[in-house]
Structure 1
Amino acid sequence: VLNINQNNTNGTDCPDLYDWDWLYTSQPVYILLITVLGILFNVFILMVFCFHKKACTVAEIYLSNLAAADLILVSCLPFWAVHISNGFNWPFGLFMCKAVNLGIKINANSSVYFLVLVSMDRYVALVHTMSHGRMRRPKYAKLGCLLMWGFGLLLSFPTLFFRKVNYFPEYNVTACFLEYPNLTTELFFDGMLIVFGFIVPISISSFCTIKIIQALKVQMTERFNAEKTEQKATNLVLAVLLAFFICWVPFHVVTTLDVLVRADILGGCHLQSVLDICNQIFSYLAFFNSVLNPILYVIVGKNFRKKVSELFKEWKIKTAAAPESLRISHLSSTVKTVV
């Protein structure tokens, strides 16, 4: 859960050991940069997948849903840029407090499961090649994506019910924050998110990734060339998985440690202050993943670059054909007039 506003509202007895002024000045600029790049890149990815004349493969269905989730996240970030630059004053009201955080949570919760689906698809394609024709069908992929969106929404339950907007006179801020009814409820939901939003999907993806790498090594050793298309798609998936691990694992580790501190399993003001700083840094490292994914599609995805090239050629042909059709239409009108 991205509780980026709770540093000023958690009511901790520990004194602030670090200067937070850098947060108000530098991070809004970073967030707006991420927003602009993320919207442009992910819209481009979705346009290529949607407007290309060939139907998307199963892996591309998963990756296009991942791009849609990333687009939702970066579209929510400008509100947090204003929120932080405002000294954690939330000026947008309760509805937007819930809606913006819901958009961020759904991305965080659903995107990891889209990666689970795409890693399982690569696993079936390369490790269980005899059965992949029956199992890897677009209609099943679309159904799987729909279920993952629903599961992401289910994991975002706390945002819908426990996000509030209140004025805190001790901090002189009107904050958008999570207020659980008690510590037990808070630890329960945070524990559920750690298990189902991090441990379970990362474990499945890691298992599939290891098996995929082993299968690729065997194919390279045997010079097995029949599956070159599958290998190209797999290289892109592995790059996206690696980027996700690098960007999101630190955030989830810090979140887990923070839960342990609140459960009194770990303690100390110095540790809490370090976790507060790390939570900020790693939250925005996780946000950067939404910009990194489209870049990887272009750099690593040979099949994607081929789709882009074909789409541009198709648009050029249509653009060139349009003036010609207008000229013929004008000539036809002229002839009719003369006759």
Structure 2
Amino acid sequence: MNSSSVEPLNSVAVNLSHLESCSPEPQHLTITVLLCLVFLVGFILNSFSLWVFCYRISHWTSSNVLQFHLALSDAIITPAAPLMATYFIKSNHWTFGSFLCKTKIALLTMHLYGSILFLMLISIHRYIVVVQYKKTSPMKQVKFIHKLCGGIWLLLLASGTAIFSMFNTSNVGNQTLCLSIHQDEYTQVYFTVNLFILILGFLVPFAVTMVCYFLLASSVSRINTTTTKGQAIKSKSHKTVAICLAIFGFCFMPIALVRTIAVVVKMFFPNECKLLVKLETAYYICWILAGANCCVDPLLYCFVSRDFNKCLRTSLKTGGKIQEKRNENELYDQDSTFNSQPTI
């Protein structure tokens, strides 16, 4: 009688201890330091990039418009960075209330997928300008690009608003969680939302970018590099391809992969607590990698936009006192490459 009554009590104790092991664990200080460093550098670089676009480039091309909106999507993450750092310092305890938690999640979503979508548009634009230089296309028109970017921002705003309304804080023990795999009430929502954004927010843009750059690389490989113009077009295109693919592979792919694994494990193997804790840490590391695109994107502006490159060098040399005039016949001007046929 006594032994039979003790066994259920022991099993309950084991289950309770097992559940307690699923609670979130404090993250290493290194994650907080790296997070602050990445987003601080990204904030400085993108603020300077936006200043160059707004005050140093007098005449925007369609390429400049796309790059400006990419820099803007990188900059909107800035308000969320201090909140995330404080969250980690306080051992995954959110103290800023429900509204700021929702805002943080919305900003993270808009930043990440805004960067992905604008990089995809830059790849499409580069392909059309270089490969289809003889054909007329709306992608070569500044007004159309402005409208296209406006449509992207409306889409991002709609997705951010939807995310804002879906998620909230959760109380787990003595902790208040915000965007954590340990929020059990959001398990099904995390799984569904991840499937949606994985396909439409990453796989489709990545596939489009890969196709554009494959066709671009195939085309520029036939350019006659004995001419100065051929060498310039080929070099510029190769740098653009390399940077964009590096951003997708190094910054965006890890977070998509780790987040998908985490929600699948949480959905179908919720008792794998040690694995979930490790996946949560990996997810935060991947957010740092994703944030690193804010630091890499300014390199893209330097390589793709001759105007940005010239204004950057002028601003650094003169302290911003000399306004660089745009040269319509510059060899490296992206929008002028389709006006004359390269030697292939």
Offset at residue 29 of structure 1 (A): 1.9
For 1:74-102, what per-residue CA distance to the aligned partner results, in whole angstroms no more than 9, with x for missing partners? 33211110111011221211111111221
Paired residues of 2:225 and 2:231 also in contact (CA < 8 A): no
Partner of 2:38: 34
Q: Which residue of the other structure, out of 74, 90, 93, is the alignment partner of 1:86? A: 90
Cα 1:105–1:201 change in 2 (3 A) is same
Cα 1:213–1:237 change in 2 (3 A) is closer
Q: Which residue of the other structure, out of 171, 175, 196, is the alignment partner of 1:173? A: 175
Offset at residue 51 of structure 1 (A): 1.0
Unaligned regions of 5+ residues in structure 2, if any? 1-17, 324-344
The whole-number CA distance in structure 2 between the counterparts of 1:154 and 1:173 is: 30
Offset at residue 310 of structure 1 (A): 4.1
Paired residues of 1:115 and 1:241 also in contact (CA < 8 A): no
Paired residues of 2:39 and 2:292 also in contact (CA < 8 A): no
Q: Which residue of the other structure, out of 192, 199, 206, is the alignment partner of 2:203? A: 199
Q: Which residue of the other structure, out of 155, 178, 189, is the alignment partner of 2:159? A: 155
Paired residues of 1:34 and 1:74 also in contact (CA < 8 A): no
Q: Which stretch has the larger CA shift, 48-57 or 207-216? A: 48-57
**Alignment partner of 1:280 is 2:284:** yes
The whole-number CA distance in structure 2 between the counterparts of 1:107 and 1:118 is: 16
Q: Which stretch has the larger CA shift, 110-119 or 130-139? A: 130-139
Q: Which residue of the other structure, out of 252, 256, 260, is the alignment partner of 1:248? A: 252
Higher relative contact order by CA 8 Å / sep ≥ 6: 1 or 2?
2
Instruction: State the one-letter code of the partner of 1:36.
Output: L
Partner of 1:316: 321
For 1:288-312, what per-residue CA distance to the aligned partner results, in whole angstroms no more than 9, with x for missing partners? 1112222454478654321223456
Residues 45-124 of structure 1 mapped to structure 2, 5 A cutoff: 45-124=49-128
The whole-number CA distance in structure 1 between the counterparts of 2:137 and 2:234 is: 13
Paired residues of 1:122 and 1:234 also in contact (CA < 8 A): no
Residues 271-310 of structure 1 mapped to structure 2, 5 A cutoff: 271-298=275-302, 303-310=307-314
Offset at residue 174 of structure 1 (A): 2.0
Offset at residue 149 of structure 1 (A): 1.5
Q: Which stretch has the larger CA shift, 251-260 or 296-305? A: 296-305
Q: Which stretch has the larger CA shift, 76-85 or 178-187? A: 178-187
Instruction: State the one-letter code of the partner of 2:251.
Output: C
Q: Which stretch has the larger CA shift, 276-285 or 188-197? A: 276-285
The whole-number CA distance in structure 1 between the counterparts of 2:166 and 2:184 is: 6
Unaligned regions of 5+ residues in structure 1, if any? 1-11, 319-339
Paired residues of 2:42 and 2:294 also in contact (CA < 8 A): yes
User: What TM-score, normalized to structure 2?
Assistant: 0.76
The whole-number CA distance in structure 2 between the counterparts of 1:53 and 1:301 is: 11
The whole-number CA distance in structure 1 between the counterparts of 2:212 and 2:35 is: 33
Paired residues of 2:202 and 2:256 also in contact (CA < 8 A): yes
The whole-number CA distance in structure 1 between the counterparts of 2:188 and 2:145 is: 37
The whole-number CA distance in structure 1 between the counterparts of 2:171 and 2:186 is: 20
**Alignment partner of 1:189 is 2:193:** yes
Instruction: State the one-letter code of the partner of 1:211.
Output: L
For 1:127-167, what per-residue CA distance to the aligned partner results, in whole angstroms no more than 9, with x for missing partners? 21112455411111111111111222333355211222343
Partner of 1:7: none
Partner of 1:325: none
Count, aligned residues:
304
Q: Which stretch has the larger CA shift, 196-205 or 233-242? A: 233-242
Instruction: State the one-letter code of the partner of 2:37.
Output: L
The whole-number CA distance in structure 2 between the counterparts of 1:270 and 1:175 is: 18
Q: Which stretch has the larger CA shift, 52-61 or 294-303? A: 294-303
Paired residues of 2:70 and 2:115 also in contact (CA < 8 A): yes
The whole-number CA distance in structure 1 between the counterparts of 2:69 and 2:208 is: 19
The whole-number CA distance in structure 2 between the counterparts of 1:222 and 1:264 is: 59
Q: Which stretch has the larger CA shift, 26-35 or 151-160? A: 151-160
User: What TM-score, normalized to structure 1?
Assistant: 0.77
The whole-number CA distance in structure 2 between the counterparts of 1:96 and 1:265 is: 31
The whole-number CA distance in structure 1 between the counterparts of 2:71 and 2:184 is: 32
Instruction: State the one-letter code of the partner of 2:247.
Output: A
Offset at residue 40 of structure 1 (A): 1.1
